[in-house]
Structure 1
Amino acid sequence: AFLTPLLVSRSFGKEVWRLTCSEMTYSLGMILGGLLLAVWKGYPRRAKATLLTGTWYGMLMFGLGLAPTFGVYLLCNTLIGIASPCYNAPMTAFLQDRVPQEYHGRVFGFLQIAMSMAFPLGMLIFGPLADVMEIRLLLFIGGSGVLGVMAYSFFRKKLNF
């Protein structure tokens, strides 16, 4: 998320309107994803849905890195925004179903701590890397990591779909 403003300014131009469009399309995508979930009313198989939307997200990270024009970038950014709630909602519902109720506070508190730490840790690692590596390459590496985790999780036998 924090690499996209750098990608926009370095690849497509430093105009403020471009950065504004980048943020707005992601937000629009999240709204559309939330509306999609509200209309669709969820997934029958939450773990599988999380893996599929996680895979979609990883592929779209490649799309951001490969985007030849700003319009294609904005399309990929909107689609990533749609993927975000479609990933998080079934994952949260899956955990609510699988974790005993007396542990919900601990598990979701820990999850919140982990997610809160991920952003500054990512900035600590990828911020300096963005000064020495092409941001598109970092998106390919990140997308590959996401796809690798999704593939590992999908083929792991312990996950009950």
Structure 2
Amino acid sequence: IFAFMTQDLWLLLVIAVIRSFGNGLENPAANALLPQLVPAKHLTRVNGYNQILMAAMLVMSPLLAGYILSDLGIFWIFVVDALSAALAILFLSVVHVPTPSASHDRAAKRADGILAGLQYVRRTPILLAFMLFTGLAFILVAPSSQLSTLYVNRTFGSEVWHLTFNEWFWTIGAGLGGLYIARHKHFRDQLGLIAIGFAGSGLAFAEMGLPQSFSFYLLFMFVSGTFYPLIQAGQTIYLQENVPADKLGRVFSLWAILSTGIYPLAMLVYGPLADQVPIGRIFVVTGLLLIGVAYWFWHRLRKLSW
């Protein structure tokens, strides 16, 4: 349709919505599938490699997309996207894993899909606390994640190299954080690892909001990137190792809603606020609050058990 009928903006938005819907299905399913493909003793290392690959993708994709967009046009972006999706489907078609045996308790019979996941989370105090703290933490992560480009534009300048370095330094940090995860076979205190990730990110966000040179800002952007895999991989591994296989997909769906779906809701507040209050001040306040939430997360959840 885009190639032969219309190239209006509404079609790009429709494509983005469909693609986002697909990602919403794919990501929880992929996280739930990994424990069926990887022995438990290698889960930590493989999740670390996954974080490294994601960081490498974030570095290379804009370069490739910029080349295609400038020399060939946006239509060929869609062609590459469709071909890569077709290759992924082809590779997945040769992967065979057993379907987890579903539990037959009364709760499972009364509810299906996301409702069954909600009921399981509600009946498991440590998992309920985990989800609530995750939602609260990512509300505080949202401004630094979503407003950093606008902050750089307003504070340091709108030149392309400013925005490029802003993304690259975070991505390089995320790659090194993923390498740190991959070098370990197992983390004894996974909750502590997640709490360190949140606290370190909060400290970096608070420092990013202080008056400083662009070089020091990039340093703390890099630091925030190194802590992100501790959060993402730590939470993924924690759920993979503790949630029953037949409930893992539903739990990961809820986790995905909290860890990514909270951003657009939070930005309904942070976006207008950024036009009234200096963005740096927002970074400082939310970063310091995130440090407190990280300690509260670790202190509360270590007292609970599965």
Query: With structure 2 as the length reference, what TM-score do the two structures score?
Result: 0.50
* Amino acid paired to 1:52: I
**How is 1:1-161 mapped onto 2 (pairs within 5 angstroms)?**
1-66=145-210, 68-156=212-300, 158-159=303-304
Q: Distance in 1 between matches of 2:169 and 2:184?
A: 22
Kept in 2, the 8 Å contact 1:153–1:159? The answer is no
Higher helix share: 1
* Amino acid paired to 1:21: F
**Equivalent residues, number:** 160
Q: Distance in 1 between matches of 2:246 and 2:178?
A: 28
Any idea what the Cα deviations from partners look like across 1:34-86, whole Å, max 9, x if unmatched? 12211234422111111112111111111111251100111111111111112
Query: With structure 1 as the length reference, what TM-score do the two structures score?
Result: 0.91
Q: Distance in 1 between matches of 2:179 and 2:296?
A: 30
After the TM superposition, list the runs of 4 or more consecutive aligned residues in structure 1 that deviate by more than 4 angstroms.
none
| Higher alpha-carbon deviation: 21-30 or 34-43 | 34-43
* Amino acid paired to 2:165: C
| Higher alpha-carbon deviation: 114-123 or 18-27 | 114-123
Question: Could you say which structure has the larger radius of gyration?
Answer: 2
Kept in 1, the 8 Å contact 2:191–2:298? The answer is no
* Amino acid paired to 2:259: M
Q: How far does residue 158 in structure 1 lie from its aligned partner after superposition?
A: 2.4
Q: Distance in 2 between matches of 1:121 and 1:41?
A: 36
Identify unmatched segments of 5+ residues in structure 1.
none
Q: How far does residue 120 in structure 1 lie from its aligned partner after superposition?
A: 1.1
Identify unmatched segments of 5+ residues in structure 2.
1-144
Q: Distance in 2 between matches of 1:136 and 1:75?
A: 16
Q: Distance in 1 between matches of 2:147 and 2:184?
A: 32
Q: Distance in 1 between matches of 2:211 and 2:189?
A: 32
